[in-house]
Chains A and B, each alone.
Chain A
Amino acid sequence: MAGGGISSGGQGSDMYEGLGARLILPAWAIIGFFLVLPVGLMLIYSFLTKEFRGGVIWEFSLAAYDQFFFDRGLFGDEPPKIEWTYINIFWRSIWQAALATVFCLFIGFPTAWFIATRSGSNRQIWLFLITIPYWVNLLIRTISMKFLIRDNGPLNEFLLWTGLVDSPLHIINTNFAVQLGLFYSYLPFMVLPIYASVERYNFAFSEAAADLYASKWVTLRLIILPIVKPGIIAGCILVFVPSLGAFLAPDLLGGAKNFMIGSLIEEQFKGNAGNWPFGAAISMILLSMVMVVLTLYARAQSKEEASR
Chain B
Amino acid sequence: MTRKVDLRRFTGFQAITWACLFMLYAPLIVVMVYSFNDSNSITIWGGLSLRWYGDVFWGPEAEKFKVAALNSIVIAVSAAVVSTAIATSAATALLRAGRFRGKSLSFVLVNMPLMVPEIVTAVASLIFFSAIGFTAGYLTILVAHIVFCIPFAYLPIAARMQSIEDVYEHAAQDLYASKWQAFRLILLPLMAPGIISGFLLAFIISLDDFIITNFVKGAGIETLPTAIFGSVKQGIKPNIMAISTLLLLVSVLFVTLSWLVGRKGQKQ
Contacts and interface: CB of A to CB of B under 8 A. Distances in A.
Interface of A: 4, 6-24, 26-28, 30-32, 34-39, 41-42, 45, 55, 107-108, 110-111, 113-115, 117, 124, 126, 128-133, 135-141, 143-148, 152-154, 184, 187-188, 191, 203, 206-207, 210, 216-217, 219-220, 241-242, 244-245, 247-248, 252, 261-262, 265-266, 269-270, 276, 279-280, 283, 286-287, 290-291, 294
B7 A269 contact: no
Contact of B169 (A15, A133, A261, A290): A15
A202 to B, nearest CB: 12
The A contact surface, by secondary structure, is: helix
Interface stretch (B47-55, B61-69, B142-150): B142-150
Contact of B98 (A6, A14, A133, A147): A14
Contacts of A203: 7-8
B101 A21 contact: yes
Given A131-B255, A139-B228, A21 B102 contact: yes
Contacts of A4: 170, 173
Given A38-B127, A124-B263, A130-B24, A23 B97 contact: yes
A244 B117 contact: yes
Given A124-B263, A128-B259, A241-B117, A20 B123 contact: no
Given A20-B97, A24-B106, A137-B251, A113 B150 contact: no
B210 A9 contact: no
Contact of B124 (A16, A42, A128, A244): A42
Interface in B78-105: 85-87, 89-90, 92-103
Contact of B120 (A133, A135, A217, A287): A287
Interface in B156-186: 161-167, 169-170, 173, 179, 182-183
Contacts of B256: 132
Contact of A262 (B89, B119, B121): B119
A279 B123 contact: yes
B166 A9 contact: yes
A137 B225 contact: yes
A27 B150 contact: yes
B190 to A, nearest CB: 10
Interface string B15-34: 01101110111111011001
Interface residues of B, number: 105
A19 B179 contact: yes
Contacts of A21: 93, 100-102
B39 interface: no
Contacts of B138: none
A132 B255 contact: yes
Nearest to B103: A20
A144 B98 contact: no
Interface string B205-228: 001101100110000000001001
A189 B140 CA distance: 29
B16 A247 contact: no
Contacts of A137: 207-208, 210, 225, 244, 247-248, 251
A133 B127 contact: no
A12 B97 CA distance: 8
A35 B21 contact: no
A20 B144 CA distance: 25
Contact of B5 (A24, A147, A216, A286): A216
Contact of B17 (A16, A34, A111, A294): A111
